């Protein structure tokens, strides 16, 4: 019996080192895990995020937003918008943030000039991520199911049911909610270049075309000076082609006693073309109607003209896609994306002129965007764009 106790004791004592190693390993694992969680948490709070000098500009923008101060007293911290809550996405985001550390060490945005130079690049990176994850950080606080749309502002009350129905992404409409939008000039110009490139590949068999940009036209191909100007998105019907030029017919409406302009619809200031005196005399009247509200007489007219083929495209949806991108990129800094049918065609003119100084749009882009809004306005013939 004594021998058994001795053997049992020796065996039990020999097991202690193994148990000790396991216990120490477990304690180290718990400590490492707790330390990692603490590190992740501390490097995600807003105090840490804005501790670098280069973050003072975005901090000031954030402090001026509704996410920082609002009537409800609910504040969205940096991580609430920039770090997805899902475990895998969370870890990938934290790992990807190492590039920001490298950038800070290298002084990538340590001055006002450098910050402005890289702001669009940084913003587009965030927008791309939010687009890919269906705005997961937004949805961690905002839920369509919890929204009382009837209590929202008129614009939101109209837009959110559409977003719910179509499965839209939050970032499609809300880009400047916490930071001032960057200068979108380069992005706007890139879209215009892509549209012109698409026009260059338009089939020479197409008979119904649309102008992708404002373009002077001539009554005869050999004319030295233009006889008027065609506006972007205007539809023309091809009559014949001659190399890089084509003869086309422009159909539209002209207000009586205003010979120098052709509009897309009666009673609506949707400009299709402006004409000089010679072109105005060539306009053919094909009937008309009187506006019941204003008593104004509108004539249905047509004009034969010559245009270069390089500015014409056979798919107007490509023009609208570019215009929709302009609106999304330039018009969401102060509010969400306004529904196109929120205003009438004529009201959109004043809205666009009033908002233009707050955007990066040039005159040509503003003209196209106005056409886009007007032709999808509440009183347009086909407000949903079904005619396209």
- Residue 170 marked as a ligand binder: yes
Q: Can you tell me the distance from the alpha carbon of 171 to that of 129, in angstroms, rounded to the nearest whole number?
A: 10
Q: Is 53 annotated as a binding residue?
A: yes
**What residues does 289 pair with on adjacent strands?**
298
Q: What are the two backbone dihedrals, phi and then psi, of residue 384, each rounded to the nearest 5 degrees? A: -90, 0
118 annotated as a binding-site residue: no
Establish whether 342 is an annotated binding residue: no
Radius of gyration of the chain (CA): 31
Instruction: Answer for the pair 202, 313: CB distance below 8 angstroms, yes or no.
Output: yes
Cα(4)–Cα(366) distance, integer angstroms: 96
N- to C-terminal Cα separation, the chain: 99
DSSP category for residue 254: E
The encoded tokens of residue 113 equal 């000039």
Q: Is 160 annotated as a binding residue?
A: no
78 annotated to bind ligand? yes
Question: In the beta sheet, which residues pair with residue 302?
Answer: 251, 284
201 is in an annotated binding site: no
179 is in an annotated binding site: no
Residue 296 tokens read as 């104004």
DSSP 255-301: ETT-TTEEEEETTEEEEEEEE-HHHHHTPEEEEEEE-TTT--EEEEE
335 among the known binding-site residues?
Answer: yes
- Answer yes or no: is 376 a known binding residue: no
Q: How buried is residue 1: exposed, middle or buried, by Cβ count under 10 Å (0-12/13-18/19+)? A: exposed
Rounded-to-5 percentages of helix, strand, coil across the chain? 50, 15, 35
Q: Which of 56, 32, 45 is nearest to 179 (CA)?
A: 56
Q: How far is CA 261 from CA 157, 228, 233, 234, 276, in A?
A: 37, 9, 16, 13, 9
173 assigned ligand-binding residue? yes
Q: Is 49 annotated as a binding residue?
A: yes
Binding residues for heme, as ranges, are 49, 52-53, 78, 81-82, 138, 141-142, 170, 173-174, 331, 334-335
Residue set of the binding site:
49, 52-53, 78, 81-82, 138, 141-142, 170, 173-174, 331, 334-335
């Amino acid at each position: 019996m004594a021998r058994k106790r001795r053997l049992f004791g020796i065996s039990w004592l020999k097991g202690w080192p193994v148990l000790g190693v396991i216990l120490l390993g477990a304690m180290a694992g718990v400590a490492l895990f707790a330390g990692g969680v603490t590190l992740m948490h501390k490097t995600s709070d807003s105090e840490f995020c804005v501790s670098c000098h280069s973050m003072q500009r975005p901090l000031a923008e954030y402090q001026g937003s509704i996410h920082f101060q609002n009537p409800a007293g609910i504040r969205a911290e940096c991580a609430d918008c920039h770090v997805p809550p899902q475990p895998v996405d969370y870890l990938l985001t934290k790992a990807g943030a190492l590039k920001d550390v490298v950038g800070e060490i290298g002084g990538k945005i340590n001055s006002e000039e450098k910050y402005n130079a890289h702001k669009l690049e940084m913003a587009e990176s965030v927008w791309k991520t939010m687009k890919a994850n269906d705005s997961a950080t937004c949805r961690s606080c905002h839920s369509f199911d919890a929204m009382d749309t009837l209590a929202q502002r008129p614009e939101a009350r109209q837009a959110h049911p559409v977003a719910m129905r179509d499965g839209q992404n939050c970032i499609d409409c809300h880009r400047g909610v916490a930071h001032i939008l960057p200068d979108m000039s380069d992005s706007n110009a890139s879209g215009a270049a892509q549209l012109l490139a698409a026009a260059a590949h338009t089939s020479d068999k197409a008979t119904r075309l649309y102008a992708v940009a404002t373009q002077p036209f001539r009554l005869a191909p050999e004319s030295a000076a233009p006889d008027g100007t065609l506006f972007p998105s205007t539809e023309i019907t091809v009559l014949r082609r001659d190399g890089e030029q084509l003869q086309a017919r422009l159909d539209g409406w002209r207000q009586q006693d205003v010979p120098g302009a052709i509009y897309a619809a009666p009673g609506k200031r949707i400009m299709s073309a402006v004409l000089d005196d010679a072109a105005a005399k060539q306009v053919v009247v094909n009937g008309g109607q009187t506006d019941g509200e204003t008593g104004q007489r509108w004539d249905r007219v047509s004009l034969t003209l010559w245009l270069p083929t390089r500015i014409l495209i056979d798919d107007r949806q490509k023009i609208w896609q570019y215009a929709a991108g302009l609106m999304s990129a330039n018009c969401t800094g102060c509010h969400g994306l306004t529904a196109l049918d929120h205003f009438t065609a004529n009201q959109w003119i004043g809205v666009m002129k009033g908002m233009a100084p707050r955007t990066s749009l040039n005159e040509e882009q503003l003209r196209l965007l106005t056409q886009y809004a007007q032709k999808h306005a509440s009183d347009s013939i086909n407000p949903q764009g079904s005619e396209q």
